[in-house]
Structure 1
Amino acid sequence: MLGLPKGEVFLVQWTEEWNKEFLSEKEKILNEVGDYIVEIHHIGSTAVKKLSAKPIIDIAVEINDFSVGENCVSPLEKIGYSYKGTNILPDRHYFSKGEPSTHQIHMYQSGNKFLQEQLKFRDYLRNNDKARIEYEELKYKLSELNNNNKHKYAEEKTQFVKSILEQI
């Protein structure tokens, strides 16, 4: 299952389909804006095997120069993305796809600290079952408490994420 209606927060069990969906979307993105791209990363909980997640594929698109993100807007709109600008989340061009939302692109300049933290956290969870399980339990608890407030849900996960990043 893929797609999260606006304003809702719920989790579904991890599925291999998420990885297949990422690879398919990566190919589409490369076909449209590949000349600007350094790398495309599967990030977020859907990128961590066995971790329940909101059913949205998070994609980090790494570019050499932040300003070329503007050049990607029209081509990405051709494949269904809506450009949300650079003011939604820090230091990135942000795009979403679908209603309900099925994909998100976070477009970062290479070396961006937020990108590096996303990758470190993802890799840590991929390689540490105890932390992955603990994070999943926290996410379920927070999704139940904040099922209609995605911002509060995300905010309340922040301390866990920071504690992991401080360890690694």
Structure 2
Amino acid sequence: MLGLPKGQVFLMPWTEEWEKQFLMEKERILDRLNEKVLIHHIGSTSIKNLSAKPIIDIAIEIEHYEDGVKFISPLEQLGYTFIEDVLPERYYFNKGEPRTHQIHMFQKGNNYLKEHLAFRDYLRTNAKARIEYEELKVKLSQLNSNDKFKYTENKTDFVRSILDKINL
């Protein structure tokens, strides 16, 4: 299953389907943008055996931040909605209702991008941390099933503790 209705927070067990969905969407994006960009699968759906909200998070890495403007229209043609000033230092897009995909477009070397990738990679290789994170996410999703902002905010200390361990 893919898709999270607006205003809801719930988790699904990890499935290989999420990786397949990412790879299909990556190809669609690369075909549409017709430029050299790096595309990463980020977020919990990118971490094997980690329950997640059923939304595919995608990071697009571009050479210069200003170039992101020229990608808005091509991504809108793929069904994405550009939302200005939602998150810092990125172009943000989402797709679907219920929401199935999110794109975070960063300039190459952006610290937020580095953190996303480092956190993902750490959890991919550290089962203990992945299990602790999943337990926290399950608890928070139950406590904040209608408040995605509080759910996300309450994960911050854990995420920061991991990033501190890897010196980011």
Distance 2:75 2:97 in 1: 16
Distance 2:8 2:88 in 1: 22
Aligned-residue CA RMSD (Å):
0.6
Distance 2:70 2:121 in 1: 30
Q: Which residue of 1 aligns with 2:109?
A: 111
Q: What secondary structure is seen at the aligned counterpart in 2 of 1:107?
A: strand
For residue 144 of structure 1, report the CA deviation from its aligned partner. 0.4
Distance 2:143 2:112 in 1: 27
One of 132, 138, 141 as aligned partner of 1:140: 138
Distance 2:15 2:75 in 1: 26
2:42 corresponds to 1:43: yes
Distance 1:7 1:92 in 2: 22
TM-score, normalised relative to structure 1? 0.98
Structure 1 residues 142-161: aligned runs within 5 Å: 142-161=140-159
Distance 1:57 1:33 in 2: 19
For residue 36 of structure 1, report the CA deviation from its aligned partner. 5.0
Q: Which residue of 2 aligns with 1:26?
A: 26
TM-score, normalised relative to structure 2? 0.98
Distance 1:67 1:73 in 2: 11
Q: Which residue of 1 aligns with 2:7?
A: 7
Structure 1: which amino acid aligns with 2:145? N
Give identity over the alignment, percent: 64
Q: What secondary structure is seen at the aligned counterpart in 1 of 2:93?
A: strand
For residue 34 of structure 1, report the CA deviation from its aligned partner. 3.4
Q: What secondary structure is seen at the aligned counterpart in 2 of 1:7?
A: coil
Structure 2: which amino acid aligns with 1:113? N
Instruction: List alignment gaps of at least 5 residues for structure 2.
Output: none
Q: What secondary structure is seen at the aligned counterpart in 2 of 1:61?
A: strand
The C-alpha deviation readout for 1:91-120, integer Å capped at 9, x for no partner, is 000000000000000000000000000000
Instruction: List alignment gaps of at least 5 residues for structure 1.
Output: none
Q: What secondary structure is seen at the aligned counterpart in 2 of 1:35?
A: coil
Runs of 4+ in 1 over 4 A off after TM superposition: none
The C-alpha deviation readout for 1:45-78, integer Å capped at 9, x for no partner, is 0000000000000000000011111101111111
8 Å CA contact 1:36–1:68 kept in 2: the answer is no
